Amino acid sequence: MFKSSRRDIVLQIGAVLMTGAISAVPEAAAKPNTAAAAGFRSDPVPRFNVLQASGRLDGVHGVVAMLGGDVVFERYFPGQDWAWGRDLGHVAFGPDTLHDLRSVTKSIVGLLYGIALADKRVPPIDDAILDHFPEYVDLRMDRNRSRITIRHALTMTLGMKWDESLPYTDPANSEIAMERATDRYRFILDRPILGQPGRGWIYSGGAVALIGKLIEKGTGQSLPDFAEKALFAPLGISGMEWARGSDGEASAASGLRLAPRSVARIGRMILSGGMWDNRSVLPKPWLDQSFQPAALVDIGWPGMHYGHLWYLGEALIHGTTGSYGEPFVAAFGNGGQRLFVFPSLDFVLSITTGNYDSPEQWRAPAAILSDVFLPSLTNE
């Protein structure tokens, strides 16, 4: 068994949710919603205001909560922002302002594969991945490498060396090295083999780049074009940007920019079993499959698991009669980008922040969830 590389930015949130730890906000750019308490057991607005007054949520840009299909809470705050490392200066965020999602992009790419698979435009997930990259004849001759499947990419269990624990300004970071490679797909598929595929989890933007390329190969469309037509347009999402590398390839790992309202809509579609406005956008069986923990995989924190490019866990609720875990599925991105979906609570929370590459970036989203919304939903 090989050891998983660990990405503190992503995984610390698991520890926070399992322990109920809290923290961090800046000055509000909008007044509290007058109907913010609708559907909650207790009003989240006073809790949010207390958290805001504490000054502990520095760097938050947007918060959108949906309950029972309705937007019940929405706040925006001005602040410094970047678009994939490009300085945007001081931004006055609002409902339509696009924001880097960073690795939340990965989870959305997982949804796109499910849409394309239902239309039989991409290969079954147990196909050998190199069978669909015939241009790399030499790599297909490697017996160990030829056993790697699309499922292994979807679950980040490729069994190949990949290290994103280094800063994203470091050329030795595997994602940065991929972006600078002459051929990003050869770079990914030619990584050293560390162990049997499916037996260990290594966080890998390269795995998602392969999924994105399979979508492009199968649909004959660029990844952004397919996403716009197959997912965003059916959800009524009109604003979108997708960053491309110097080679012109759309970054499947981290390049998507959406408004937090749009991200919340994606969460609501998930809660509705892939439906939106009485139309099937995404097959429910794909969602069910995506939210099952990958077998034999430990991602490094107790209680946290990984499905098909989605995190799976339980938020710890401290009740008067004891504590219990509330199941969620989630997408996490560098800087504090978050999408939480709580099926049994019929609740979606979308958060955007500008704390990119900070070791403390997990604190603000964790506080918003654990100090404001979970108590208001459970009345605990």
- pLDDT computed for residue 36 by the predictor: 44
Task: Summarize pLDDT for 237-272 with one digit per residue, the tens.
Answer: 999 999 999 999 999 999 999 999 999 999 999 999
> Does residue 126 carry a pLDDT above 60?
yes
Residue whose C-alpha is closest to residue 260's, from 79, 132, 97, 369: 97
* Mean pLDDT across the chain: 89
In a domain, 35, yes or no: yes
Which DSSP string do the residues of 342-369 spell out, in sequence order? EGGGTEEEEEEE--TT-TTTTHHHHHII
Residue whose C-alpha is closest to residue 110's, from 277, 313, 329: 329
Q: Which distant-in-sequence residues (6+ apart) come within 8 Å of 374 by Cβ? A: 315, 317, 326, 380
Q: Which residue type does 167 have?
A: P
Domain containing 335 equals: 8-378
| CATH code, domain carrying 343 | 3.40.710.10
Neighbours of 33 (CB within 10 A): 16
Q: What is the number of structural domains in the chain?
A: 1
Q: Which residues pair with 160 in a beta bridge?
A: 193
Higher pLDDT, 254 or 25: 254
Number of H helices, E strands in the chain: 14, 14
| Segment 205-213 mean pLDDT | 98
How far is residue 145 from each of residues 214, 218, 238, 309, measured CA to CA in Å? 17, 22, 40, 21
- pLDDT computed for residue 318 by the predictor: 80
Q: Work out the pLDDT band at 319, boundaries 50, 70, 90.
A: confident
In a domain, 3, yes or no: no
Q: Which two tokens stand for residue 12?
A: 């610390």
In a domain, 141, yes or no: yes
Orientation angle between helical segments 260-271 and 104-118, nearest 10 degrees: 50
In a domain, 1, yes or no: no
| Segment 335-345 mean pLDDT | 97
Which DSSP string do the residues of 132-157 spell out, in sequence order? G-TT-HHHHT-HHHHT-BHHHHHTT-
In a domain, 2, yes or no: no
- pLDDT computed for residue 297 by the predictor: 73
- pLDDT computed for residue 235 by the predictor: 98
> Does residue 28 carry a pLDDT above 50?
no
Cα atoms in the Cβ-side hemisphere of radius 13 Å centred on 21: 12
Helix (H) or strand (E) holding 185: helix 184-189
